[in-house]
Amino acid sequence: MSAQAKSLICVWDVAGKTGDVYGSATDYALAMQKNGADIELKSYVDERVAIEDFRAGQCDGVIATAFRTRQFNSVAGSIDSIGSTTIIKGGKVDINASYEVVRKVIQVFTSPQAGKLMVEGNYEVGGIFPLGAAYPIVRDRKINSVEALSGKKIAAFDYDKAQGTMIQRIGAQPVSVDVTNIGPKFNNGFVDMVTLPAVAFKPFELYKGIGKTGGIGRFPIMIPTVQVILNKTKFPDGFGEKSRQYWLSQFDRAMNIIATAEKGIPANMWDDLPADSIPKYVLMLREARIEIAKDGMYNKTGLNIIKKARCSINPTDAECATKSEVE
């Protein structure tokens, strides 16, 4: 298979060809030439269409959020589960340690031993990189506790059923959104809260919805990722592993993009949660996550791998007394 035909990868980026995801994909295509793949990219602003084109065989690979790619590999998709990568030390969120959990999980998924887990049918995970911690963003700062969320409208990606389940658990109301309309729905007051990473702040113009009364809670509900999914029949043998290794090598670059986005948010928009509420929230997210896994929405193998990573970074946490998160 030396004279390989061009492989087309559909790339979702909310900013189209000018965005960081597309920019990273351009460098990836270049780097993969030496691994025998001639990759062409096609840009999409609407993620749903990129996934549909990939499903229909119009592209040989797709780059999109794990919420959307979980259908092709639920083990890798489990990294985008509520609270699973958040580390708390001394009652405070340790964001650097939380990102280390993400890095560790990606390292595990990139190792040759995990090769089998990265393949489901003809679909193979070709890489994972973080979009950045997703924070609760509200139109009114008075919504600063789980109790205050009762009855409020919270945006939920309808293709990630776990979000709606979680929102209903706390007595709030899920409102269906996707990446094309979450910004306007928040900015125009159709929802009271969205959970998004800092990279979404500018393209979605969230400052309009935050206005004078809103804010961003400095508590990562999850750390969403973007994942590369390949139709492995369209790439040279062994390409998937080389591709995963490439994206692992880009982790620090992704972290720089995240840091830049967070610095770009005005300091007065950030809010720290009351310290006494943080352990309570972590427990609440864990209970919800286990429940959701038992309902079959999260992959148990994936969650147990992530727990192992959490406990290797924060071994004194009470949860580390037991080995697995879900049986």
Residue 9 neighbours by CB distance under 10 Å = 25
As a whole number of angstroms, the distance between CA 241 and CA 115 comes to 7
pLDDT at 3: 47
pLDDT at 90: 87
**241-295 residue pLDDT tens:** 999 999 999 999 999 999 999 999 999 999 998 888 898 899 899 999 999 999 9
End-to-end distance of the chain based on CA atoms, in angstroms? 43
Over 60: is that where the pLDDT of 1 sits?
no
Over 60: is that where the pLDDT of 136 sits?
yes
Mean pLDDT of 302-311: 97
**160-209 residue pLDDT tens:** 889 999 999 999 999 999 988 999 999 999 999 999 999 999 999 999 99
Quote the tokens at residue 13. 């980026």
Q: What is the pTM of this model?
A: 0.95
Q: Give the distance from CA 57 to its chain's centroid.
A: 24
> 127 and 256 in contact (C-beta within 8 Å)?
no
> Which alpha helices (DSSP H) does 56-197 contain, by range?
66-69, 74-77, 95-110, 161-169, 182-187
134 sits in which H/E element: strand 134-138
What domains appear along the chain, each with residue ranges and CATH number?
7-74+94-129+225-264 (3.40.190), 134-221+268-321 (3.40.190.10)
Could you tell me which residues are beta bridge partners of residue 106?
none
Query: What is the pLDDT confidence band of residue 4, given thresholds at 50, 70 and 90?
Result: low
As a whole number of angstroms, the distance between CA 133 and CA 130 comes to 8
**60-109 residue pLDDT tens:** 999 999 999 999 999 999 999 999 999 999 889 999 999 999 999 999 99
Q: What percent of the chain has pLDDT over 70?
A: 99
Residue whose entry in the numeric block shows the structure tokens 């973007």:
226
Buried b (16+ CB within 10 A) or exposed e, 147-186: eebeebbbbbbebbebbbbbbeeeebbbbebbbeebbebb
pLDDT at 2: 46
Q: Which residues contact 41 (CB under 8 A, 6 or more apart)?
A: 8, 9, 10, 11, 22, 25, 26, 29
**23-72 residue pLDDT tens:** 999 999 999 998 889 999 999 999 999 999 999 999 999 999 999 999 99
**220-240 residue pLDDT tens:** 999 999 999 999 999 999 999
Q: At what angle do helices 95-110 and 239-249 cross, to 10 degrees?
A: 160
